[in-house]
Amino acid sequence: MDRVSTGIEELDRKLIGGYPVNKVILVTGIAGSGKTIFGIHFIHKNCLEGKKCLIIATEETPDDILYQAKILGQDLTPYYESRQLIIENMFENRSEMIEQTRYGFKPESPDIELPNLVNLIHEGTECLVIDNIGTFALRVSTKKLRDQFDGLNYLVRKKGCTALLIMDEAAHNLTHQLAEYSVYGSIRLLVKENSYLGKMERYLSVPKMRSTPISPEMSVFEITSEGIKIQESEGENLAK
């Protein structure tokens, strides 16, 4: 199976080369766990390889994303300026709609359903990050939600993209973790205390990655000035 680099060397090794091409991967985690930075790695590496990339950003402006990327030494600005990378600014669209209705707020005003996000995907996009689908998932009844995730997953693949769908842990839990079943693979980021060392650490686990032999063990990682560094442990890669 062809693979697309995750932009993180250790994770590429763990996943036997990277994310399966033309599949959808879910990334979940609490606030500040590193989800957006995870997406930046994927986009930066694939921009470097000349692929057409798209970020649909629901919670940050393009400037915020470009700044975060730059301080991690993964400058996306040249690709953004040449339009090899497009950043759809859903954040400002959503926020402006809410502001306009301040004195008669209609919760449904930014009336966007999950599968309709594919209308934002430009022709020829190869790598896609949607950060964060939790924003839209919370508007849908549980009854409809599984269909909406399946619909989004199907349509994204039909467009030929390899995609990271980022979803905050709160929305993921409130939606009964249903998105997990629709996608090809999922990655969970967490921050918790290492009681042995008595300090907080960042962890990454891969609960599922179809067609990929993968250890259920969690890996420790750090966010440094050069981005995400994952500690590798002996025997972690089951294919070795």
Q: Which residues contact ligand ATP (rule: CB under 6 A)?
A: 29, 31-37, 59, 71-72, 168, 223-225
Question: How far apart are CB 166 and ligand ATP at their closest, in Å?
Answer: 7
Residues 78-110 as b/e (b if ≥16 CB within 10 A, e otherwise) read ebbeeeebbbbbbbeebeeeeeeeeeeeeeeeb
Q: Nearer Cβ to ligand ATP, position 42 or 212? A: 42
| Nearest-angstrom CA–CA distance, 219 and 206 | 9
Radius of gyration of the chain from Cα atoms? 18
CB atoms within 10 A of CB 195: 7
Q: Which does 78 bind (CB under 5 to 8 A by kind): Mg ion, ligand ATP, none?
A: none
Q: Which does 141 bind (CB under 5 to 8 A by kind): ligand ATP, Mg ion, none?
A: none
Question: How far apart are CB 104 and ligand ATP at their closest, in Å?
Answer: 29
| Nearest-angstrom CA–CA distance, 31 and 5 | 25
Q: What's the angle, vertex CA 45, arms to CA 29 and CA 12, rounded to 5?
A: 65
Question: Of 6, 33, 36, 58, which one interacts with Mg ion (CB under 5 A)?
Answer: 36
Q: At what angle do helices 35-48 and 62-71 cross, to 10 degrees?
A: 80
The token duo for 43 is 């986009």
Question: How far apart are CB 187 and ligand ATP at their closest, in Å?
Answer: 12
Q: Nearer Cβ to ligand ATP, position 20 or 34? A: 34
Q: Which stretch binds Mg ion (CB under 5 A): 34-42, 90-98, 203-211, 215-223?
A: 34-42
Q: Which does 54 bind (CB under 5 to 8 A by kind): ligand ATP, Mg ion, none?
A: none
Question: How far apart are CB 226 and ligand ATP at their closest, in Å?
Answer: 8
Residues found near Mg ion in the complex (CB under 5 A): 35-36
